Amino acid sequence: MSEPPRGMDIRGVEAKAARPSASLMLTRDGDEGVELLLARRVDELPAFPGYWAFPGGGIGRVDRSAVELIPSLAQMEDSVEAATCAGMHRELVEELGFAVSERGQLFRVEPALRDRILADKSEWMKAVLSGDLPLQVNAFIELTRRTTPEFAPMRFENRFMFMHCTSEVPEPALEGQTEFDEFRWIKPSIALQEWYANEIKIPPPIVTILQEVVDLQSEFPSMQEIADDICLRQPPERTILFAPGVECIPIPTATLPPATTTNSYLLGMAGGEHILVDPAVRSEEGIARISRALQRMSDSGGTLLAYLFTHRHLDHLGDIDALLALMPAEVWASQETADALASGASRILLDGDIIVLKHQTGSSLWSALITPGHCPGHVCLNSDAGLVVGDMVAGIGTILIPPAEGNMEVYLEQLQRLKNINAHLLFPAHGPVLPLPKKVFNHYLKHRQIRHDKVLSIVEDGTSSLDEIALLAYADTPNAHPILARQQTLSHLLSWQRCSRIDSQDGLWSPL
């Protein structure tokens, strides 16, 4: 994103408080070892569509009410823990059709009762109070907690629970619920193998949990011992792995709201060569986050080849001297971005350049794409893992095409070009990973074209002043910041002027 307009105080924007949620890692003893249950989230969900995840969800009003009304929950010392217990039992019924018996075994809930609960969550609490459903407060143990990073539009403090099934587990009942469309019992190592091959998508917290489980399976004979060890070891910071070899490091920056951070990406496999994309460090906190990431990389035997900047906007450019003090490396950028750096760049990136990152079992290839429109010399990076898109699209907020240096028609052309790549995932500079690239690009192209055509129509209907054109163009978006709406409208106007459809004289616009 470009620099915010003068007078905009965005450094004081605070991250939203995280809401409580819970997920459950269910395991069982399969024919070839321990298996865990993963379910595929439907593509229509706003968060992690198409991902394989654990069952679970947000802790809501019904779960908090249950703590007050169900005696076994009311006796628990921690009310949030009690609500989490309630929510996890409720989610099991809703999502998989399971309940936990007094003997700690999973069984199928009667379809009619489950249908009532799916229609009204409070029916779960009524069923527990009436004795129609059991509630075992000790059925699950808390494995770990993960809080959604501040780049997300909605944040959760997710408690990952654990239960190992010692008896035969019934098949999950997916009919009736709307979150999952498939399920699999799968060995943790197989799930990771498929993830490393970019064959399935798994949310970042679950990836690191699976990595811990697989690492500990050679040390501990049972899942219960593995879970106990994970419970005891709670590192202060875990990596955010959007994909194999793609670690996201959110850096606090003075960017456009609602975003408060810029995603820096450490690309490369553990123990191999890496590049660090957009390390926009200009504060002690940003330097500390990058320092910890580089230290983790070094501890695993990795090396840093270069700091790479996608474009020259200040919420993407870091303090080069501070970065080199942390770890010496080359600086890579397009010619336009290099010209904005006092020290220039060690390597000028050209469209189609291939970046090879060697590692212990081979190499990862990233191709550089020069994608102007938002900013001259803007760089995207493409690989089998996905597409680092910089400021071409965003996971939170929108993208500004600055009138002074942007180009709306070129931006739309580059969006179509990126759409045609058919990437596995999109890694934006602001916001979370975007799992459905074609859907994202279609939305951007349609949204921008509608606004583009609307601006032309407004001018052709006789409106001539920029302020009035912007007001009409953004009538359907009343919460849009007036300065940003005005800038974006001007970008549309300049684009139509370049296409010889309108012209400006004395600050007034008219059709040709």
Please write the tens of the pLDDT for every residue from 301-315. Answer: 999 999 999 999 999
pLDDT at residue number 20: 92
Give the bridge partners for 346, in sequence order.
Answer: none
What backbone phi and psi angles, to 5 degrees, belong to 317? Answer: -85, 130
Environment class of 299 (CB within 10 Å of its CB; exposed 0-12, middle 13-18, buried 19+): exposed
Check: CB of residue 433 under 8 Å from CB of residue 242: yes
Average pLDDT, the chain: 93
13 pLDDT band, cuts 50/70/90, is: very low
Q: What is the pLDDT of residues 314-348, one digit of tens each?
A: 999 999 999 999 999 999 999 999 999 999 999 99
- 114 pLDDT above the threshold of 50: yes
Q: Kindly state the average pLDDT of the residues 472-497.
A: 93
Q: Is the pLDDT of residue 480 over 90?
A: no
pLDDT tops 60 at residue 12:
no
* CATH code of the region 240-435: 3.60.15.10
Q: For 268-305, how does the pLDDT look when each residue is reduced to its tens digit (9 = 90+)?
A: 999 999 999 999 999 999 999 999 999 999 999 999 99
Per-residue model confidence as pLDDT tens digits over 370-427: 999 999 999 999 999 999 999 999 999 889 999 999 999 999 999 999 999 999 999 9
Whether pLDDT at 142 is above 50: yes
Whether residue 8 is predicted with pLDDT greater than 60 in this model: the reply is no
- Are the C-beta atoms of residues 279 and 251 closer than 8 Å to each other? yes
DSSP 285-303: HHHHHHHHHHHHHHHTT-E
What's the CATH fold of domain 437-512? Arc Repressor Mutant, subunit A (1.10.10)
For residue 17, the model assigns a pLDDT of 75
Is the pLDDT at 16 greater than 70? The verdict is no
How far CA 366 is from CA of 387, 468, 477, in Å, comes to: 9, 45, 38
Whole-angstrom distance, CA of residue 185 vs CA of residue 306:
41
Q: Span 341-360, mean pLDDT?
A: 96
Place of tokens 């058919």: 422
Give the model confidence (pLDDT) of 162-185 as tens digits.
999 988 899 999 999 999 999 999
Helix/strand/coil (H/E/C) assignment for every residue in 169-209 = CCCCCCCCCCCEEEEEEECHHHHHHHHHCCCCCCCHHHHHH
Residue 484 has pLDDT above 70, yes or no: yes
Distance set, CA 375 to CA 152, 280, 404 (Å): 24, 17, 10
Confidence (pLDDT) at 478: 85
pLDDT band at 236 (very low <50, low <70, confident <90, very high): low
Provide the 3-class DSSP secondary structure of residue 75. Answer: coil
Measured between its terminal Cα atoms, the distance across the chain in Å is: 32
How far apart CA 73 and CA 84 sit, in angstroms, is: 10
Q: What is the pLDDT confidence band of residue 479, given thresholds at 50, 70 and 90?
A: confident
Reported in sequence order, the residue ranges of 215-326 that DSSP labels E, i.e. its strands, are: 240-243, 246-252, 261-267, 273-277, 303-308
Q: Strands (DSSP E) along 321-412, which ranges?
A: 330-333, 347-348, 354-359, 362-370, 379-383, 386-390
For residue 452, give the H/E element and its range: helix 437-460
Give the separation between CA 486 and CA 470, rounded to whole angstroms: 5
- The architecture in CATH of the region 19-232 reads Alpha-Beta Complex (3.90)
Which pLDDT belongs to residue 179?
Answer: 94
**Domain locations in the chain?**
19-232, 240-435, 437-512
**Spatial separation of the C-alpha atoms in residues 384 and 361, rounded to whole Å:** 16
Tens-digit pLDDT profile for residues 76-98:
999 999 999 999 999 999 999 99
Packing angle, helices 437-460 and 482-498, rounded to 10: 80
Give this prediction's pTM.
Answer: 0.92
Distance CA 198, CA 287 (A): 31
Rounded Cα–Cα distance for residues 376 and 507 (Å):
26
More confident residue, 35 or 15: 35
Given a cut of 60, is residue 10 above it in pLDDT? no
Sign of CA dihedral 60, 64, 69, 71: positive
Provide the pLDDT for residue 397: 86
